[in-house]
């Protein structure tokens, strides 16, 4: 748990698999296997311990697909349906996926890549930073809106550039690449038509 401007945020994480590695039997504390009921129980415990807002990050599902799988959507929906969970964020797909808004709460299915250095397809150079605007409502904190910062990774350098902001500052020969990345990311985020989601800047 950590404090953000007086709001106590709990951040839980779980993984669907270990990319072919084996979980060390003698160190079970290293990771949390993805189990919806257990994640909900941990979120409830976090709320009881004083958390105002609970985020669950899950490492899950098929790589390089811009649309979530049915299992991914079902799992994320079951998590966000819990009153104890306020935001679900997905990882592992290596490409940006949609943001969805069921029951006025948000699921960010996939934040893309930041430091992976992958170059298999153009989409693996894309990522997104999401900024949440939280407001008090009926005695609890809720997400009013999400603002996105589409990013692009420079191959071989592990430098992350905010796409639109870098274009505005003078991107030179990278401008067209950054613009294409920005449009891919915004298109992927908006695939489910969630309201209350908008980019911080436009190219």
Tokens read off for 88: 């679900």
**Domain-wise residue ranges, the chain:** 2-199
**Residue 192 CB contacts under 8 Å (≥ 6 apart), including other chains:** 98, 99, 100, 101
Mean pLDDT of 46-66: 95
Average pLDDT, the chain: 93
Whole-number pLDDT of residue 43: 98
CA 60 to chain centre: 12
Whole-number pLDDT of residue 114: 86
């Amino acid at each position: 748990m950590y404090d953000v401007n007086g709001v106590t945020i709990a951040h839980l994480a779980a993984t669907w698999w270990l990319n072919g590695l084996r979980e060390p039997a003698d160190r079970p504390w290293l990771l949390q296997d993805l189990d919806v009921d257990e994640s909900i129980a941990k979120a409830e415990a976090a709320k009881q311990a004083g958390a105002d807002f609970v985020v669950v990050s899950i490492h899950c599902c098929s790589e390089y697909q811009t649309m979530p799988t049915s299992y991914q959507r079902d799992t994320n929906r079951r998590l966000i349906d819990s009153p104890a969970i306020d935001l679900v964020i997905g990882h592992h797909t290596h490409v940006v996926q949609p943001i969805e808004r069921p029951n006025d709460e948000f699921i960010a299915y996939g934040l893309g890549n930041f430091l992976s250095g992958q170059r298999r397809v153009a989409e693996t150079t894309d990522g997104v930073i999401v900024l949440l605007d939280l407001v008090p409502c009926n005695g609890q904190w809720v997400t009013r809106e999400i603002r996105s910062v589409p990013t692009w990774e420079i191959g071989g350098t592990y430098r992350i550039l905010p796409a639109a902001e870098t274009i505005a500052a003078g991107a030179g020969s990278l401008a067209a690449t950054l613009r294409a990345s920005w449009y891919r990311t915004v298109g992927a985020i908006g695939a489910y038509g969630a309201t209350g989601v908008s980019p911080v800047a436009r190219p």
